[in-house]
């Protein structure tokens, strides 16, 4: 089956890798700002982002960009004039859809850097504010640099400045958190004006301070109570649960950028440690130049071109350390990896089954190039175990399946 690349939406992820302080639970590619950092660091980084973008122009294969997500790290640390320069440069590289969604993550402790209206002016039309909790003791336990008052005023200021789409990130299952405290966080985010809530359960990730020094977390029963009561409250407040942790409010819609990930769409990626995914079509006959970087100061490094010419689906990732990322003269180093046929099914399902609306047969075939018949046996088995529903042209996790998503995913490994 040939993949029709022009039918696959294309997004762009931009990574801003710095934070004022590293949170003890965080395993993202985020680095504390160097104490002696200068404004020129942001200049160099935006230069590198634009160089990176130029090397990915041919990967669009004629498509417009449907959404951009600026994540981190703490993107609200980047000065507003750098955003202006970044977006001017990006518009020279890519065509944006007229109704493009552009989200920026913001941390309430860093928002003095620009009034919200300035972000609107450069084209950012959705904000995702990392609040985590509105309780002082929880924020301190999480090592956050903001307090509840700053968090509430950040959400209100964003709405007052004209942002109609404001996501608030909350975490639950926090150290010694009670049910009442978890529900208070949801209610407060709603009252402050959140149009979308991402409600994550705190997970203890390897390579974090919390992993080495585990805090006391609510036990399984308390966690289940928080989960159940939180979902009920979110529903009562008019939020619609479209993905495991994502809730869109009555006036808002699902995050287009994240839905594109879960629907196995394509995405370009620029920035330290950023990951992208692209489909290369035989019909398009594109030859993709992969420009390997020239490393400044290394005598033996030479620049050479390789070509990703085969039809297929590829993942790529960028140099992780911010210093190394800005060091390359030609383009930041990219590691390419083809997703082979065996991985395709599990990769697709890993993403798509997070969506409560399920997966259409059309989407599976259009994004993977495989026939749905290839997984007919697995689907039948999961339907008979009560984990999946198979109706018309769509498979969907049942409520039981939503609770045991990992079991469904194992069937496709
Ligand atoms: C990429 S992070 C960055 C957002 C922003 N830097 C901030 O922290 O305000 C996006 C969100 O992931 C969630 N998150 C990060 N680490 C987590 C963890 N270990 N468990 C659950 N959620 C986590 C937090 O809600 C966070 O706001
Ligand atoms: S501010 Fe966000 S990205 Fe930075 S360390 Fe904390 S959770 Fe991670």
Domain CATH for 213 = 3.20.20.70
354, with CB counted inside 10 A (0-12, 13-18, 19+), is buried
Cα of 304 vs centre of ligand 2, distance in Å, is 36
Question: Looking at the structure, do residues 168 and 56 belong to the same domain, yes or no?
Answer: yes
d(CA 411, CA 37): 49
Residue 397 lies in a domain: yes
Residue 302 lies in a domain: no
Residue 341 CA from chain centroid, whole number: 25
- 84-131 pLDDT, tens digit each: 999 999 999 999 999 999 999 999 987 665 689 999 999 999 999 999
Cα of 11 vs centre of ligand 2, distance in Å, is 23
182 φ, ψ to 5°?
-65, -40
Q: Is 295 in the pocket of ligand 2 (CB under 6 A)?
A: no
CATH assignment of the domain containing 375 = 1.10.10
61-66 average pLDDT score: 96
Report the C-alpha dihedral over residues 204, 206, 210, 214, rounded to 10 degrees.
80
Token pair listed for 366: 């259009």
Residue 396 bridge partners (DSSP): 389
**Most confident of the following: 83-97, 104-118, 274-288, 385-399:** 83-97
- 159-177 pLDDT, tens digit each: 999 999 999 999 999 999 9
Q: Which of 256, 248, 277, 247 is nearest to 103 (CA)?
A: 256
- 246-270 pLDDT, tens digit each: 999 999 999 999 999 999 999 999 9
pLDDT band at residue 344, thresholds of 50, 70 and 90?
A: very high
Cα of 242 vs centre of ligand 1, distance in Å, is 19
Pocket test for ligand 1, best of 75, 105, 142 (most atoms within 8 A of CB): 105
| Domain count for the chain | 2
In order, the DSSP letters of 275-303 are EEEEEE-TTTT--EEEEPPPBTT-TT---
Q: Is 74 in the pocket of ligand 2 (CB under 6 A)?
A: yes
Domain end (from 210, 226, 259): 259
Residue 288 lies in a domain: no
Q: Is 29 in the pocket of ligand 2 (CB under 6 A)?
A: no
291 pLDDT above the threshold of 50: no
Ligand 1 atom 1, closest CA:
72
The answer to whether the CB of 192 falls within 8 A of the CB of 156 is: yes
Pocket test for ligand 2, best of 17, 26, 128 (most atoms within 8 A of CB): 26
The answer to whether the CB of 298 falls within 8 A of the CB of 44 is: no
Looking from the CA of 346 toward its CB, the CA atoms found within 13 Å total 12
Question: Looking at the structure, do residues 346 and 200 belong to the same domain, yes or no?
Answer: no
230-252 average pLDDT score: 97
Cα of 30 vs centre of ligand 2, distance in Å, is 7
Residue 98 lies in a domain: yes
Question: Looking at the structure, do residues 45 and 155 belong to the same domain, yes or no?
Answer: yes
Question: Looking at the structure, do residues 253 and 347 belong to the same domain, yes or no?
Answer: no
Distances (CA, A) of 109 to 28, 30, 143, 153, 180: 18, 16, 12, 11, 25
Ligand 2 atom 3, closest CA:
73
Which residue range is the domain that position 363 belongs to? 342-411
Cα of 149 vs centre of ligand 1, distance in Å, is 19
| 73-98 core/surface letters (b: 16 or more CB in 10 A; e: else) | bbbbbbeeebbebbbebbeebbebee
| Nearest atom within ligand 2 for CA of residue 107 | 1
> What end-to-end distance do the CA atoms of the chain give, in Å?
22
Residue 278 lies in a domain: no
Q: Which of 150, 236, 157, 224 is nearest to 190 (CA)?
A: 236
Cα of 178 vs centre of ligand 2, distance in Å, is 24
140-145 average pLDDT score: 96
Residue 359 lies in a domain: yes
Q: What number of other Cβ atoms are within 10 A of residue 254's Cβ?
A: 17
Ligand 1-lining residues (CB < 6 angstroms): 25-26, 28, 71-72, 74, 105, 107, 130, 132, 169, 171, 200, 202-203, 205
Question: Looking at the structure, do residues 84 and 200 belong to the same domain, yes or no?
Answer: yes
Residue 279 lies in a domain: no
Q: What is the pLDDT of residue 35?
A: 83
Q: ∠ CA 252-246-199 to the nearest 5 degrees?
A: 115
The answer to whether the CB of 229 falls within 8 A of the CB of 318 is: no
Distances (CA, A) of 378 to 295, 297, 362: 47, 53, 18
Question: Looking at the structure, do residues 139 and 242 belong to the same domain, yes or no?
Answer: yes
Rg (CA), the chain: 22
54, with CB counted inside 10 A (0-12, 13-18, 19+), is middle
d(CA 262, CA 257): 9
**Most confident of the following: 172-176, 290-294, 320-324:** 172-176
Question: Looking at the structure, do residues 223 and 372 belong to the same domain, yes or no?
Answer: no
Question: Looking at the structure, do residues 163 and 39 belong to the same domain, yes or no?
Answer: yes
346-361 average pLDDT score: 91
- 177-190 pLDDT, tens digit each: 999 999 999 999 99
Question: Looking at the structure, do residues 20 and 120 belong to the same domain, yes or no?
Answer: yes
Distances (CA, A) of 130 to 39, 107, 150, 167: 24, 5, 11, 9
Domain end (from 205, 240, 259): 259
Ligand 1 atom 12, closest CA:
169
Q: What number of other Cβ atoms are within 10 A of residue 345's Cβ?
A: 18
pLDDT band at residue 332, thresholds of 50, 70 and 90?
A: confident
pLDDT band at residue 75, thresholds of 50, 70 and 90?
A: very high
Q: Which helix (H) or strand (E) holds 413?
A: none
Domain end (from 259, 275, 305): 259
| Nearest atom within ligand 2 for CA of residue 19 | 4
Cα of 28 vs centre of ligand 1, distance in Å, is 8
Question: Looking at the structure, do residues 246 and 347 belong to the same domain, yes or no?
Answer: no
Residue 321 lies in a domain: no
Cα of 281 vs centre of ligand 1, distance in Å, is 35
Largest CA distance in the chain: 64
Q: What is the pLDDT of residue 308?
A: 59
Sorted by sequence, the CB contacts under 8 Å of residue 143 that are 6+ apart come out as 21, 22, 23, 24, 25, 209
- 9-56 pLDDT, tens digit each: 999 999 999 999 999 999 999 999 988 888 899 999 999 999 999 999
């Amino acid at each position: 089956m040939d993949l029709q690349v022009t039918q696959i939406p294309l997004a762009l992820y931009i990574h801003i890798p710095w934070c004022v302080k590293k949170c003890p639970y965080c395993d993202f590619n985020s680095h504390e700002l160097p104490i002696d950092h200068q404004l020129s660091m942001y200049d160099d980084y935006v230069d590198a982002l634009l160089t990176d973008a130029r090397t990915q122009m041919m990967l669009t294969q004629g498509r417009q960009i449907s959404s951009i997500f600026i994540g981190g790290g703490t993107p609200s640390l980047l000065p507003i004039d750098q955003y202006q320069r970044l977006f001017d440069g990006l518009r020279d590289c890519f065509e944006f859809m007229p109704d493009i969604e552009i989200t920026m993550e913001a941390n309430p402790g860093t928002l003095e850097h620009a009034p919200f209206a300035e972000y609107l002016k450069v084209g950012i039309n959705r904000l995702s504010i990392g609040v985590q909790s509105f309780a002082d003791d929880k924020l301190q336990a999480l090592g956050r640099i903001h307090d509840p008052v700053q968090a509430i005023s950040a959400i209100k200021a964003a709405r007052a400045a004209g942002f109609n789409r404001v996501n608030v990130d909350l975490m639950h299952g926090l150290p010694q958190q009670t049910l009442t405290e978890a529900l208070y966080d949801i209610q407060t985010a709603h009252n402050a004006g959140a149009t979308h809530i991402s409600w994550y359960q705190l997970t203890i990730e390897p390579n974090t301070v919390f992993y080495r020094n585990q805090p006391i977390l609510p036990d399984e029963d308390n966690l289940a109570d928080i989960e159940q009561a939180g979902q009920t409250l979110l529903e009562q407040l008019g939020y619609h649960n479209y993905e495991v942790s994502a809730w869109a409010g009555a006036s808002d819609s699902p995050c287009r950028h994240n839905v594109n990930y879960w629907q196995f769409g394509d995405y370009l990626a620029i920035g330290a440690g950023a990951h992208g995914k692209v489909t290369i079509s035989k019909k398009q006959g594109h030859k993709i130049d992969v420009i390997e970087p020239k490393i400044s100061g290394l005598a033996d490094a030479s620049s050479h071109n390789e070509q990703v010419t085969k039809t297929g689906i590829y993942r790529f990732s960028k140099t992780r350390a911010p210093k190394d990322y800005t060091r390359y003269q030609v383009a930041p180093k990219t590691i390419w990896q083809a997703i082979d046929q065996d991985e395709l099914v599990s990769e697709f399902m890993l993403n798509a089954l997070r969506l409560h609306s399920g997966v259409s047969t059309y989407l599976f075939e259009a994004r993977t190039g495989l026939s749905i018949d290839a997984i007919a046996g697995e689907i039948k088995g999961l339907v008979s175990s009560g984990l999946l529903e198979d109706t018309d042209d769509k498979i969907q996790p049942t409520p039981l399946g939503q609770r045991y998503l990992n079991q469904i995913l194992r069937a496709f490994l």
